[in-house]
Structure 1
Amino acid sequence: MTEQPHLLVTQEDQILIATFNRPEKLNAMSMQLMALLGEAVERFRDTPELKVMLIRSTGRYFSAGADLKGDGEHSVAPNTGSGIREMHRRLPTRMRQIWDEMEAIEKPFVVAHQARCVGGSLEMSMSCDFRLAAKSASYAFPEAKFGVLPATNGVSRLVRLVGPHWARLLITANMPVDAEEARIMGLVHKIFPDETFEDDVMAFCRHLTQQNGEMMGASKVAIELCNDLPAHQAASVERLVNSSLMLGDDYKKLMTSHIASIGSKKG
C-alpha cells in the first residue's frame, strides 16, 4: 500500500490550503511533512494570485509536534553547548528557516487548530498571522517534561505574543491551556464552535482575500516594526508606510469608488 503524503496541498480560489495528513501518528511533523510545507510556503510566496495560506489538520491532534521517532533527527544530540545551539539553529527539518519565511512573506498565514496543538506545531503557529481555535482545542509545550525549553523560537515568539506573565504558565509551570485561556492570553484570535469550525475558518480566510493586498503586506511590516520601536519612532513608521500606500493607484481607486457610493446613497 502506498503511503499517503504527510501533507496535502490544495487550492480553493485565492486560498492555498496545507493539511497535516498523519492522524494515525498524531500529525507529528516528519521530515517529509516539513519538506512539503516548505515547498507550499514557497509556492504561496511566488504565486501572485494566492492571497491567503491556511494551515490545518484532521484527527484528535492538530499536531503532537516534531516527530521524535520517525526520522531519527533527535536520536543523537551534540555533546557541547555550542553544538546544541547550532543544532537548534539548523535543524534538518529547516523549522526555524520556514517559520522565519512565513513571518517575512507579506501575505497572511492562517492556522486552524481543531484539536490539541503542542511543541513544534505551536512554535509554527506562532509564526502565523492569525490563529483560530475550535472550542475543544488546547495548547502546551511538553519540552519541560524533558527538562528543556521549546528552543525553535518557542520562548522568544511566545513572550512577544503573550508577554512574560503568561509565558511562565506555559513554559516554567509546564501547564497546558484550553482554547478560552489561550484567547484570554492573546495566543489565539478567535474561537469557533467545533460543529461549524471548518466553515467558520474558510469564511475567515475568504474575508482576508477581500482585503487589499498592498495594505496587508505593508501592515505585516509596520506592525512588527512598531512593536519593536519606541512610540514616537513607531508613529513615524505608520506615517511612512501610509504615505507610500496613499500614493498608489489602489488607494485612489478605492477612495474614489467609496465617495461615489456615498453620493449615490444620498441621492
Structure 2
Amino acid sequence: MSEEPHLLTEEQDGVLIATLNRPDKLNALSAETMQLFEAALHRFRDEPDLKVMLIRATGRYFCSGADLRGGSPTATPRTASGIRENHRLRLNGMHRIYDEMEHIEKPIVMAIHAPCVGGGLEMALSCDFRLTAKSASFAFPEGLFGTLPASNGVSRLTRLCGPHWARWLIMGNQKVDADRALIMGLAHDVLPDEGFQDAALDFCRHLTKSSGEQMGAAKIAIDLAAELGRESGRHVERMANSALMLNPAYLEGIERYIKNLGGKGK
C-alpha cells in the first residue's frame, strides 16, 4: 500500500487549507512535504479567488521539525562556508519557502493544535497569524545538539518576541505552553481544544471579507514599520493610504457608508 501524501490541500470559502499529513512520523518535514507545500503556496499566491491560507496538521504532534531520518540528497558540508550555503540554498528549500510566505501579500494563518518544534516552529514564525489550541506547545530542540535554529528561528523569533524570550527558547532550551506563547507574543490567541479547527477556519473566513488590497498594503507597511523609526513609519502609512484611497472599491464603500450615516442620530 502506498503512503498517503505528506500534505493534503482543499479549498473552502476562499480559504486554501494545507494539512500536514504524516501523523505516524509526527509530521516531520520531509522533502515531499516541502515540495507539496511550496506548490500549494504558489497556488495560493497566484489564484485571485484564494484569499487566505490556513496551515494545520493531523495527529498528536503539529510538527516535530525537519525529517532527520529521511536522508539528504547531498552530503553534509565539512566547511563553515559550506554549512552556511547549505542552510541558505538547501534543507528542502526552507529558507526560500519561508521567505516567500512573508512576501506574499495575502494572510497566512497557522492553527497549532499540539507540540510544534524546530522547523515547524520556524514555519509558524513566517505566518501572519498563529492560533493555538490549549494543548499546543513550542520548543527549539537544536540546543540539545549544540546548534541554533538557523532557518529563521533566531532572526524571526527575536523580531517577533524580542531578545528576552528568544534567550528563553534558544539559550534556555525551554518548552513553552500555549498560555506562555500568548504572553510572549508568539501566539495571537489561545482557543479551547474542543472545536479548535472550526474556530480557526471561522477566523480565516472572517479574513476573507477584508479588502485584498488593504491586506497586502498592511502586510508590507507593518513589516516596514517594524524596521523603521517613527517618522519613516509615518511616511509608509501615508504612502500606502495614498494608493488605497484611490481604489474604486474604497471610494464606493466610503460613499455608501456616509449615505447610511445620513439618517442616523437626527
Structure 2 distance, partners of 1:83, 1:229, is 33
* Alignment of structure 1 residues 1-267 onto 2, 5 Å: 1-70=1-70, 72-73=71-72, 76-266=75-265
Q: Answer with 253-262 or 109-118: which moved more.
A: 253-262
Check conservation: 1:68, 1:74, Cα contact below 8 A. no
Cα offset, 1:153, TM superposition: 1.1
Check conservation: 2:13, 2:205, Cα contact below 8 A. no
RMSD between aligned residues: 1.2
- Secondary structure at the counterpart of residue 94 of structure 1: helix
Give structure 1 regions of 4+ aligned residues with deviation exceeding 4 angstroms: 264-267
Structure 2 distance, partners of 1:175, 1:208, is 33
What is the TM-score normalised by the length of structure 2? 0.97
Supply the AA of the counterpart residue of 1:262. Answer: L
Cα offset, 1:89, TM superposition: 0.5
Supply the AA of the counterpart residue of 1:64. Answer: S
Cα offset, 1:7, TM superposition: 0.1
Structure 2 distance, partners of 1:61, 1:92, is 21
What is the TM-score normalised by the length of structure 1? 0.97
Supply the AA of the counterpart residue of 2:247. Answer: G
1:64/1:171 CA distance change after superposition, 3 Å? same
| Percent of matched pairs sharing the same residue | 58
Cα offset, 1:77, TM superposition: 2.0
- Secondary structure at the counterpart of residue 5 of structure 1: coil
Supply the AA of the counterpart residue of 1:230. Answer: G
Cα offset, 1:136, TM superposition: 0.7
Q: Answer with 242-251 or 125-134: which moved more.
A: 242-251
Structure 1: unaligned runs, 5 residues or longer = none
Supply the AA of the counterpart residue of 2:48. Answer: P
1:92/1:175 CA distance change after superposition, 3 Å? closer
Supply the AA of the counterpart residue of 2:26. Answer: L
- Secondary structure at the counterpart of residue 61 of structure 1: coil
Cα offset, 1:258, TM superposition: 1.2
- Secondary structure at the counterpart of residue 203 of structure 2: helix
Structure 2 distance, partners of 1:54, 1:257, is 32
Q: How big is each residue's C-alpha offset from its partner over 1:14-58, in whole Å with a ceiling of 9 and x where there is no partner?
A: 000000000010000000000000000000000001000000001
Cα offset, 1:265, TM superposition: 4.5
Cα offset, 1:264, TM superposition: 4.8
Structure 1 distance, partners of 2:250, 2:122, is 36
Check conservation: 2:130, 2:186, Cα contact below 8 A. yes
Cα offset, 1:73, TM superposition: 2.2
Q: How big is each residue's C-alpha offset from its partner over 1:121-145, in whole Å with a ceiling of 9 and x where there is no partner?
A: 1001100000000001000000000
